[in-house]
Amino acid sequence: MNAFQQRRWPLVILWVLIIAAIVAAPSVLPVFRLNLLGRFLALAIVALGIDLIWGFTGLLSLGQGIFFALGGYAAAMYLQLNSSGDLLNGIPEFFTLYGVDRLPAFWQPFHSPWFTLVAIWLIPGLLAGLLGNLVFRNRVKGVYFSILTQAALLVFFNFFNGQQKLINGTNGLKTDVTQLFGQMVGSAEMQRGFFWVTAVMVILMWLLVRWVVRGRFGDVLIAIRDDEPRLRFAGYNPTLFKTLVFAIAGSLAGIGGALYTVQSGIVSPQFMTVPFSIEMVIWVAVGGRGTLVGAILGAVAINYAKSLVSEALPQSWLFIQGGLFILVVTALPEGVIGWFRGEGPRNLMSRLGFSRPIGTYPQLEVDGNDEVQP
Amino acid sequence: MQLLLESLFNGVAIGSVLMMAALGLAIVFGLMGVINLAHGELMMLGAYTTYVVQMVFKLPAFQSIYGLYVLVAIPLAFVVSGVVGILLERTVIRRLYGSPLETLLATWGVSLILQQFVRSVPLAHAAGLILALVLGFGLPLVLPHRFFEGARARINRAITWAMSALGGVLLAGVLASQISRIARATSRNVDVTAPKWMRGGIEWMDITFPVPRLVIIVMTIVAVVGVTWFLNRSVWGMRIRAVTQNRSMSDCLGIPTDTVDVLTFGIGSGLAGVAGVAVSLLGSVGPNVGGSYIVGCFMVVVLGGVGNLLGTVLASFAIGLLTDLIGAGRLLTIWPDMPSPLAGTVTFFATTSMAQVLVFALIVVFLQFRPAGLFPQKGRMVEA
C-alpha cells in the first residue's frame, strides 16, 4: 500500500462533506447567503481553470478577468435583448441615452439563446487561444507571460470602460431586472435555480479538468511545468499544448463569468480590474495549486472570508489579503490541501513530539532492488 | 512643424516619467529576474514624501525657502522608497529567490498592504516610522564598526534601535502637532502645488513649454546619466553588471552577491521614489496613483529587453510618443485631410485609454518579430 492510497480517505470524506453542504445549502441558508455561495461556486469554476494552467502547466495568468467578463457580457447581452422586445425599437433601454437607435451588429446573434450558450464558453476560449498562441509561439514565458496577460487585461478594461455606445461603458449591463422564461432573473426562485445550475456545473467542470490532467495530456502539461526545453527536445511541441490548455482555462473562466453575472445581477468592466484577476490566483494558491479540490475550496473559503471581514472590518481586508499573499508563497507554497497531502501533517506531528518512524531511505533501496530483479 | 514639435515635446514628457519608473524596474528585473508589483506603490510613497515635504516647507520657519522644496523632496523620496524597498528585499524577496512567479504574488501582497497603509495611517506617523527605519538600518553603517563588536555588541545594537525609535516618535509627534493636515489618516487624494518658479511656461518659437514638464525631463536626464555612470564607471556598478551576467561565476570570484542584491533593489526602489516626485508634480496624489503607471512600466520592460539601459530609454520614448500621438488625436491635426475611413479609425482611438489599447496591440505585433525585446541579451543561456 503506498502513501497515496493511505491518505485517500480524507479526500473522500472531504468530497462527501462538500456535496452534502451543497445539497443542504438551499434549505438551510437564507436567500442572501445562498446567493453568495452560488456566486462563489461560480468563481470556483474560474479557479479550476487557473489551477489547470498554473498548478499543472506552470503558466501564471494575471488576466483571467478578461475571459470571466466576456462570458458575463455574453450572458447579459442575451438577457438584455430577451427582455427588451416590447421596448422602443426593440433595443435595450440604455442605448437611447447615448442616442443610438440601431442595434450594433455584434449584438444581433445574441437574440438566439443557443448561440449565447455556445458563445459563453467559445468566445473566451477562442480569444484565449489566439492571445496564447501569439505569445507562446515566440517562447515568451514565465514572468513575461504574466505581465503581458496583465497588460492585456488593462487594455480590455479600457476598451469596455470607454465604449458607452457599444456596451454601456462603465455602467455595465444589468441582468437582475431582465426576463428569462417569463420570470425576473433577480427573483428568489430564479436565484435558487441558478444555484443548482452552478453547483452542477462545478462538479461537471471538476470532472472535465480531472479527466484532462489525469491522462497523457496531463502528463505533457506537468512536463511543460517542470522542464519545458527537455520536453521540446523529446519531440513535443509545447506551444500547441500551452495554447490548448490556455484556451480551456479561458472557456472555464467564461462559464464562471456567465454564472456569476446572472447571480450578481450586473456585469461591468469592474470584472476586468487588475486586483480582481490577481485575487483569483490567490484562491488557487491558498487552496493548493495542482490539487483540484484545493482550487474549489480556496475560491469559496477566501471569498466567504472576504465577505465576512468586509462586513465587520472593511478597513482591514486589504491588510489581511496582502498578508495572505505573502504568507502563502513564503510559508505554505503547496497550499492547504497540498500541505495535507504532502509531508505537512507528519512534520507537524513530529514537531509536536508525536513523531512516527519515517521509512524514506530503506524504501528507496527496496524500490531500487525491485528494478534490478528480473 | 510647430504642431510636430509640440507633439514631440509632450511625447518626451510622458516618456520621461515612464522611463524613470521603468528604469528601476528594469535594473531589478535584469539582476534578479524579479518583477516587483509593488513598484507602483514605491512611486506612491515618493509622491507622498513630496507632499509631506511641501507641508513642512509651508511652516512659518521655512516660508522663505519654500520654492526649494522640490529639490529637498527628490533625495528624500529616493531614501524613503529605497529604504522600504530594502526592507521588502530583506524580509520577503530574499526567501523566494529562484521562483519569480511566487515573487510576483508576494510583491502584489506588499503593494496591497502599502496601499491600505497610506489610507489608514496618518502621514505624520508614517514619516516617523520611516525615519526610525532609516536610522535603525543606517546608523550601523555610519558608526564605527567596533561599536557593534565584542561583549557589548548586542546592547549597543539595542540602544541604536531604541534611539532610532525615539527619533521616529519625536518626528511623528512634531509633524502631527504642527501640521494638522497630515495628523489624521485619510484616503482622499492630496494635491502638491508647484512652487512659483515652476508654474507657467517658457515660450519658444510660438510654443509654450510647461515648466513642470521641463523639470521632469531634466530630472530624467540626470537620473539616466547618473545610473549609466554608476553602472559603467563605479566599482559597485561593475559588480552589479557582473552578477547580472552570471551570478554563480561572480559569487565564485568573491563578489558579495547578497550585498549586490540589496544595493540594486535599494537603487531601483529609490528611482521609483524619484519618479513619484515627478508624478506628484503632474497631478493629484492618492493611494492608487502607482497603479496607473505600473502597466506602462511593464510594457517598457517587455519592449526594451533586459539588462540594457538603451533599450529601456528607447522603449519608454517610443511608448510615450505613440500614446501621445494617438491618444491626443494629433494624427488628425498633423494630417487634416485624411481619407474618411482612416479618419474614423483615428478618432475612435483618440482617447488616452484607447491609445493604450492600440499601443498594446502594436507591442504584441512587435513581439512576433523580436520576441526578446529591442535589444535581446546575447549568449548561450537562451532558455534560462
User: Which chain B residues are closer than 8 Å to A322 by Cβ?
Assistant: 108-113, 116
The 3-state secondary structure of B184-230 reads: CCCCCCECCCCCHHHCCEEEECCEEEEHHHHHHHHHHHHHHHHHHHH
Please state the φ and ψ torsions of residue A155, each to the nearest 5 degrees: -65, -45
For the cut 80, the answer to whether the pLDDT of residue A83 exceeds it is: no
Question: Which of A214, A223, A254 minimizes the C-alpha distance to A241?
Answer: A223
Verify whether the Cβ–Cβ distance B383 to A229 is below 8 Å.
yes
For the cut 90, the answer to whether the pLDDT of residue A254 exceeds it is: yes
Q: How confident is the model at residue B306 (pLDDT cuts 50, 70, 90)?
A: low
Side-chain-side CA neighbours of residue A360 (13 Å): 4
Predicted confidence at residue A86, as pLDDT, reads: 61
- Rounded to an integer, the average pLDDT of B71-89 is 89
Within 8 A by CB and 6+ apart from A83, the residues are A177, A178, A179, A180
Q: How confident is the model at residue A122 (pLDDT cuts 50, 70, 90)?
A: very high
**Closest Cβ–Cβ partner in B95, B106, B299 for A151:** B299
Chain A within 8 Å of B367 (Cβ-Cβ)?
A: yes
Predicted confidence at residue A77, as pLDDT, reads: 87
User: Which chain B residues are closer than 8 Å to A140 by Cβ?
Assistant: 367, 371
Query: If residue A173 lies in a helix (H) or strand (E), which one and from where to where?
Result: strand A173-174
For the cut 70, the answer to whether the pLDDT of residue B337 exceeds it is: no
- Rounded to an integer, the average pLDDT of B246-268 is 88
Check if the beta carbon of residue B134 is closer than 8 Å to that of residue B79.
Answer: yes
Predicted confidence at residue A51, as pLDDT, reads: 92
Assign B285 to helix, strand or coil: strand
| Nearest CA distance, A59 vs chain B (angstrom) | 9
Cα distance between residue B82 and residue A343, in whole Å: 39
Query: Which grid coordinates are listed for B169?
Result: 516618535
Q: How confident is the model at residue A247 (pLDDT cuts 50, 70, 90)?
A: very high
Chain A within 8 Å of B121 (Cβ-Cβ)?
A: no
Predicted confidence at residue A3, as pLDDT, reads: 46
Handedness of CA B28, B32, B34, B38 (dihedral sign): negative
Question: What is the tens place of the pLDDT at every residue in A355-367?
Answer: 655 555 544 444 4
Cα distance between residue A252 and residue A70, in whole Å: 11
Other beta carbons within 10 Å of A301? 15
Residues in chain B: 384
How distant, in Å, are the alpha carbons of B8, B140, B165, B168 from that of B127?
Answer: 39, 21, 12, 8
Cα distance between residue B258 and residue B89, in whole Å: 11
Predicted confidence at residue A359, as pLDDT, reads: 54
Cα distance between residue A134 and residue B363, in whole Å: 11
Question: What is the tens place of the pLDDT at every residue in A155-202?
Answer: 888 888 887 777 887 888 887 777 777 677 777 777 888 888 898 899
User: Which residue(s) pair with B209 in the sheet?
Assistant: B202
Cα distance between residue A123 and residue A156, in whole Å: 14
Chain B within 8 Å of A139 (Cβ-Cβ)?
A: yes
Tell me which residue has cell 494630417. B335
Side-chain-side CA neighbours of residue A219 (13 Å): 4
Predicted confidence at residue B384, as pLDDT, reads: 42
Question: Which of A155, A331, A246, A4 minimizes the C-alpha distance to B323?
Answer: A155
Mean pLDDT value across chain A: 82
Cα distance between residue A26 and residue A190, in whole Å: 12
Please state the φ and ψ torsions of residue A29, each to the nearest 5 degrees: -80, 145
User: Which chain A residues are closer than 8 Å to B295 by Cβ?
Assistant: 150-151, 154, 274
For the cut 70, the answer to whether the pLDDT of residue A272 exceeds it is: yes
User: Which chain B residues are closer than 8 Å to A142 by Cβ?
Assistant: 100-101
First CA to last CA distance, chain A: 22
Other beta carbons within 10 Å of A344? 15
Q: In chain B, pLDDT over 90 holds for what percent of residues?
A: 4
Other beta carbons within 10 Å of B283? 13
For the cut 60, the answer to whether the pLDDT of residue B244 exceeds it is: yes
Mean pLDDT value across chain B: 80
Cα distance between residue A99 and residue A265, in whole Å: 25
Question: What is the tens place of the pLDDT at every residue in A103-114?
Answer: 787 888 888 888
Chain A within 8 Å of B111 (Cβ-Cβ)?
A: yes
Please state the φ and ψ torsions of residue B13, each to the nearest 5 degrees: -65, -45
User: Which chain A residues are closer than 8 Å to B361 by Cβ?
Assistant: 155
Predicted confidence at residue A318, as pLDDT, reads: 83
Q: How confident is the model at residue B329 (pLDDT cuts 50, 70, 90)?
A: low
Kindly provide the b/e burial profile for residues A246-278, where b requires at least 16 CB atoms within 10 angstroms of the residue's own CB: bbbbbbbbbbbbbbbbbbbbebbbebbbbebbb
Handedness of CA A57, A63, A64, A67 (dihedral sign): negative
Chain B within 8 Å of A138 (Cβ-Cβ)?
A: yes
- Rounded to an integer, the average pLDDT of B324-345 is 70
Verify whether the Cβ–Cβ distance A154 to B295 is below 8 Å.
yes
Assign B41 to helix, strand or coil: helix
Query: If residue A266 lies in a helix (H) or strand (E), which one and from where to where?
Result: strand A266-267
Q: How confident is the model at residue B383 (pLDDT cuts 50, 70, 90)?
A: very low
For the cut 90, the answer to whether the pLDDT of residue A260 exceeds it is: yes
Predicted confidence at residue A372, as pLDDT, reads: 40
Question: What is the tens place of the pLDDT at every residue in B201-243?
Answer: 777 777 777 777 888 888 888 988 988 898 888 888 888 888 8
Q: How confident is the model at residue A255 (pLDDT cuts 50, 70, 90)?
A: very high
For the cut 80, the answer to whether the pLDDT of residue B370 exceeds it is: no
Cα distance between residue B244 and residue A107, in whole Å: 52
Kindly provide the b/e burial profile for residues B321-348, where b requires at least 16 CB atoms within 10 angstroms of the residue's own CB: bbbbbbbbebbeeeeeeeeeeeeeebee
Q: How confident is the model at residue A79 (pLDDT cuts 50, 70, 90)?
A: confident
User: Which chain A residues are closer than 8 Å to B383 by Cβ?
Assistant: 228-229
| Nearest CA distance, B20 vs chain A (angstrom) | 19
Query: Which grid coordinates are listed for A175?
Result: 441582468
Greatest mean pLDDT among B178-192, B205-219, B327-341 lies in B205-219
Cα distance between residue B192 and residue B299, in whole Å: 28
User: Which residue(s) pair with A266 in the sheet?
Assistant: A174
Q: In chain B, pLDDT over 70 holds for what percent of residues?
A: 88
